[in-house]
Amino acid sequence: MANFAIQANRDRWSGGDQPVRYSAYEQSSGLIKFLVGVNTIAGIGAIPTGEKGRVWDYYLRAFRAIEEYSPGQILRTFELSRIFGPLETAAKTSRFYSPELLAELGGTREGRAWIDYLSKLTGRNLSSEEAFLTQGFRFEGGRLLLGQTGNEVLLRHAGIIRNLSLSDPRLQASYARSLFGGPWGAARGAFTARIPFIGETGERLAEAHMFVGGQTRRQAAMRSLFGYGTSLIERFNRLVRGDIPVVSSVLKHIPILNRFSFGVTPSSGLKTLGKLTLKLGVGLPAALLAYQQLDYFVRRSQLFDQTVFGEGITAGFATMWTRGQVALSQVAETLGGHRYREWQEEIAPGSTSLTRLAAFPIIGGLGGIGIGYAHRIASQLSSQLTDKLVSQEASVVYSAAQQFLVEKLGGQQVETEFLRTLSPAMRELAESRAEKWASGTVGKLVSIGKRMLPGKGRGPGTLGRVLGLGFALGGVLTVLPFIHGALVPSERPEELRKIYSGEKEVPIRRGRHWMFGRSKWEGERPLAHVPHWYPMMISRAREKAIWGENEEEISPVEKWWIENFTYDLEKAHYRTRPYPITSPAFHEMPILGPLVSSTIGEWVKPRMYMHSEEFMRQGEEGTEYRDMPLRWGQMAVQEELGELPPGAPVTRADVKQVIGEQLYNLQQVIGLPGFMMSSIKEAITGTPGIGDEEMRLAEAGTIYGYKRKY
DSSP string, 214-259: ESSHHHHHHHHHHHHHHHHHHHHHHHHHT--TTHHHHHTTSTTGGG
Residues in the chain predicted with pLDDT less than 50, given as ranges, are 1-9, 245-246, 456-460
Q: Verify that 141 and 169 share a domain, yes or no.
A: yes
In a domain, 212, yes or no: yes
Same domain for 230 and 108, yes or no, is: yes
Decide which of 203, 218, 247 is a domain's last residue: 247
160 belongs to a structural domain: yes
- Reduced to 3 states (helix: H, G, I; strand: E, B; else coil), residue 527 is strand
Residue 326 sits at φ, ψ, to 5 deg, of -65, -45
Residues 467 and 574 in one domain: no
697 is a domain residue: yes
What is the C-alpha to C-alpha distance for residues 609 and 380, in angstroms, rounded to an integer? 64
Q: Which pLDDT score is estimated for 516?
A: 57
Nearest to 245 by CA among 147, 360, 329, 365: 365
Listed residue (564, 637, 554) closest to 606, CA to CA: 564
The pTM of the full predicted model, rounded to 2 decimals, is 0.84
pLDDT at 9: 43
- How many CB atoms neighbour CB 20 within 10 A? 18
CB 182 within 8 A of CB 266: no
Instruction: Give me the count of residues in the chain.
Output: 710
Predicted pLDDT of residue 17: 83
Q: Is residue 415 assigned to a domain?
A: yes
Pair 332, 414 in one domain: no
Q: How far apart are CA 214 and CA 155, in angstroms?
A: 6
Q: Which residues pair with 196 in a beta bridge?
A: 206
Contact 37, 684 (CB under 8 A): no
- The type of residue at 269 is G
- Determine the Cα–Cα distance for residues 589 and 648; give it in Å rounded to an integer: 28
- From 223, 247, 271, the end of a domain falls on 247
**Whether residue 360 is found in the same domain as residue 474:** yes
Whether residue 581 is contained in a domain is answered as yes
121 shares its domain with 240: yes
Query: What residue spans of 480-608 are helical by DSSP H?
Result: 483-487, 493-501, 533-539, 541-547, 556-565, 568-572, 593-597, 600-604
Which of these three, 459, 482, 505, is where a domain ends? 482
Q: Are residues 324 and 414 in the same domain?
A: no
Distance CA 349, CA 437 (A): 44
What gap in Å lies between CA 343 and CA 335, rounded to an integer? 14
Q: In 3-state terms, what secondary structure has residue 526?
A: strand
The CA angle 291-292-294, to the nearest 5 degrees, is 65
Same domain, 425 and 570: no
Ranges of beta strands (E only) in 408-566 are: 506-509, 526-530
Q: Classify residue 348: in a domain, yes or no.
A: yes
Regarding whether 578 and 524 lie in a shared domain, the answer is no
User: Positive or negative, the Cα torsion across 91, 95, 101, 103?
Assistant: positive
- Quote the domain boundaries for residue 140: 93-247
Which is nearest to 231 in space by CA: 353, 80, 85? 80
Pair (115, 197) in one structural domain? yes
Express each pLDDT in 10-52 by its tens digit: 578 888 888 888 888 888 898 899 999 999 998 998 888 877 7
Q: How many domains does the chain have?
A: 4
Among residues 569, 556, 533, 562, the alpha carbon closest in space to that of 299 is found at 556
Give strand pairing partners of 162: 209
Tell which phi-psi region holds residue 42, choosing left (phi > 0), alpha (psi between -120 and 50) or beta.
alpha
Please tell me the predicted confidence (pLDDT) of residue 438: 83
Residue 535 lies in a domain: yes
Please check whether residues 348 and 361 belong to one and the same domain. Answer: no
346 in a structural domain: yes
**Spatial contact of 404 and 414, defined as CB atoms under 8 Å apart:** yes
3-state secondary structure of 50: strand
Are 590 and 691 in the same domain?
yes
* Per-residue pLDDT at 458: 45
